[in-house]
Chain A
Amino acid sequence: MTAPVQPVAPVVAKDLTVRFGGAAVLDRVSFRVGPGDYVGVVGPNGSGKTTLIRALLGLSPPPEGRLELFGEPAASFRQWRRIGYLPQSTTPPMPRFPATVEEIVACGRLPHAAGRMRLPAADRAAVERALAAAGIADLRRTPVGSLSGGQRQRVFVARALAAEPDLLLLDEPTVALDPVYRDDFYRTLGAWNRERGTTILLVTHDSATIGHHASKLLYLDRSLVFFGSFADFCASPAMTQRFGEFQQHMVCHQHGCPGGLGPQ
């Protein structure tokens, strides 16, 4: 009888350190994100959240320590079709950039059909699904430069979803979204996580909301302060020490955690 095969973890960091000009922006961070995990990455400004995402994608200075994507060192990772990425800044390079919503979203399929003159039917169908999931199917022929900030954000969400990846890396995806669409967005993301098994790392300042949706929280402040389930977050001595007992219980109470104040 053979031992069950351990599924490859989408993300593994071991003593990960990233420096900018000698200063460590991330300092000896270690964690493991399993297949199908939905991780909210939170922490104060300048805590290294975006740097973590960029390090995974090879967009930061070469990190120290170990950083792996699907079992491969992040530095040599090339299975881009497994990754969907929403960057923090999504401003078009110029106001009159000649691109429709559909053309931008189709960029998400590049790793799948890079060598094709025309996008194959299967890729066009994936673009359609992403447009529908982001609620912008009616904007497909609209020039991206004429959209509002919130509509544009949805276009870039759709571009990330169009990859139909195994791992979604989303950096502040809910910025500029109105509350109604933000709820839709979290519902859509939750469905992709549950039904497709998509692993998600979502950077946000909206820590009050992410606790409702993510299965785990990763709290950074240059070093790793907490990584685990939201229930453990509420009972975490490290977080209580950071926020104080009352505030920690308030946060957890908002999310109906066992560690929160109020009726248990």
Chain B
Amino acid sequence: MIEALQFGFMQRALAAGLFVAAACALLGVFLVLRRCSMMGEGLAHFAFGSVGLALLLSLPPLAVAVPLAVLASLLILKLPERGGMFGDAAIGMVSATGVAAGVLFASLGGGFNVDLFSYLFGDILSVTRAEVGVAVGLSAAVGAVLLRFRRQLFAMAFDAEHARTAGVPVKRLDRALAALTALTVVLGIRVVGTMLVSSLLIFPAATALQVARSFRGALAVAVAVGTGSILAGIAAAYLFDVPAGSAIVLVNAALFAVARLTRRE
């Protein structure tokens, strides 16, 4: 396994995967505690449509998917405020629109091709040097923003009304959280694909909540689980010639099961 690290594709996969997984894990803790777990799922499906549009127009997928996903995240927050519906309905509508648009664009582009398939299920072992640069830079930025505002985000996840009376700009931070989720989800698509990217958000956080006794501990455990699953998933992909994205998610599922079964009540 160690000799695999000399290959460039393996180094790129690990760099992109570890940074994206750490950002997803941090973000996931806030999303799960704020009861917004499904936002990542909805935005990932929406991003599938955005990537389809980019491929149809022969534009760089990230350049198209990031702004569109950020707009969709704000729409998910606005629809319940103004449209008289609950948030999960808004997520469902945005998600379905994205998938439908993706299928339409793929059809217009001559059917599903290999490129679009790799965005559906991820292809971490084929990320380019430029993609690694973007993934590492943006993931680090997402992590830095989350850590900078962690105390306010923690307070509003625990008790949003009290947080407001302590001067926390709850609405603004909710919008920021949604936009960061959009950004992170798009970055995660190359790692595990649109179908599975929300698992990088939810699984590490859910596992951390089984074992952590403090908020600081929950953030640390989530990052350890997220990055550990990338290492184990990529190793499994190399050793057993299985799809890396699927291996990463299944490792996460196994870690959650272990944490759930061994947790102290």
Chain A interfacial positions (CB closer than 8 Å to B):
57-59, 78, 80-81, 83, 85, 87, 92-94, 96-100, 103-104, 106-108, 110-111, 114, 117, 119, 141, 143, 159, 163
Given contacts A96-B209, A97-B33, contact A87 B214 (CB under 8 A): no
What is the minimal beta-carbon distance from B50 to any residue of chain A, in angstroms?
A: 33
Q: In the docked arrangement, what's the CA distance between A103 and B152, Å?
A: 12
In the complex, what residues of B have CB within 8 A of residue A114's CB?
151-152, 167-168
Given contacts A99-B158, A110-B151, contact A83 B213 (CB under 8 A): no
Chain B interfacial positions (CB closer than 8 Å to A):
33, 35, 147-148, 151-152, 154-155, 157-159, 161-168, 208-210, 212-218
5 residue pairs of the A-B complex, CB under 8 angstroms, read A59-B165, A80-B167, A83-B165, A96-B210, A97-B158
Beta-carbon contact of B217 and A80 below 8 Å:
no
Q: In the docked arrangement, what's the CA distance between A111 and B164, Å?
A: 10
Given contacts A93-B33, A110-B155, contact A98 B166 (CB under 8 A): no
In the complex, what residues of A have CB within 8 A of residue B33's CB?
93-94, 97-98
Q: Give the contacting residue for A58; candidates B35, B151, B157, B164; CB below 8 A.
A: B164
Beta-carbon contact of B167 and A104 below 8 Å:
no
Main secondary structure of the interface of A (DSSP, over half): loop
Beta-carbon contact of A85 and B162 below 8 Å:
yes
Q: Give the contacting residue for A98; candidates B152, B162, B167, B209; CB below 8 A.
A: B209
New A-B pairs, 11, CB < 8 Å, besides A58-B164, A107-B155: A85-B162, A93-B159, A94-B33, A98-B214, A99-B158, A103-B154, A103-B215, A108-B166, A110-B152, A117-B148, A119-B151
Q: In the docked arrangement, what's the CA distance between A57 and B154, Å?
A: 20
List the 8 shortest-distance A-B pairs measured between CB atoms, nearest first: A80-B167, A98-B218, A110-B166, A98-B212, A107-B155, A111-B167, A100-B214, A143-B213
Q: Give the contacting residue for A99; candidates B152, B154, B168, B208; CB below 8 A.
A: B154
In the complex, what residues of B have CB within 8 A of residue A107's CB?
151, 154-155, 158-159, 162-163, 166
Q: In the docked arrangement, what's the CA distance between A106 and B166, Å?
A: 11
Beta-carbon contact of A80 and B166 below 8 Å:
yes
In the complex, what residues of B have CB within 8 A of residue A96's CB?
209-210
Beta-carbon contact of A98 and B161 below 8 Å:
no
In the complex, what residues of B have CB within 8 A of residue A81's CB?
167
Beta-carbon contact of B215 and A110 below 8 Å:
no
Closest to B213 in A: A143
Interface centre among A59, A96, A141 (most CB of B within 10 A): A96
In the complex, what residues of A have CB within 8 A of residue B161's CB?
59, 87
Closest to B210 in A: A96
In the complex, what residues of A have CB within 8 A of residue B159's CB?
87, 93, 107
What is the minimal beta-carbon distance from B229 to any residue of chain A, in angstroms?
A: 19
Beta-carbon contact of B158 and A111 below 8 Å:
no
In the complex, what residues of A have CB within 8 A of residue B212's CB?
98
Beta-carbon contact of B215 and A98 below 8 Å:
yes
Closest to B150 in A: A117
Q: In the docked arrangement, what's the CA distance between A94 and B213, Å?
A: 13
Given contacts A98-B208, A100-B213, contact A92 B158 (CB under 8 A): yes
What is the minimal beta-carbon distance from A244 to any residue of chain B, in angstroms?
A: 39
What is the minimal beta-carbon distance from B156 to any residue of chain A, in angstroms?
A: 10
Closest to A119 in B: B151
In the complex, what residues of B have CB within 8 A of residue A143's CB?
213-214
Beta-carbon contact of A110 and B167 below 8 Å:
yes
Beta-carbon contact of A98 and B151 below 8 Å:
no
What is the minimal beta-carbon distance from B258 to any residue of chain A, in angstroms?
A: 16
What is the minimal beta-carbon distance from A48 to any residue of chain B, in angstroms?
A: 18
In the complex, what residues of A have CB within 8 A of residue B147's CB?
117
What is the minimal beta-carbon distance from B174 to any residue of chain A, in angstroms?
A: 15
Beta-carbon contact of B164 and A103 below 8 Å:
no
Closest to A92 in B: B158
Closest to A54 in B: B161
Q: In the docked arrangement, what's the CA distance between A57 and B168, Å?
A: 13
Given contacts A85-B165, A98-B214, A100-B213, contact A93 B158 (CB under 8 A): yes
Closest to A113 in B: B151
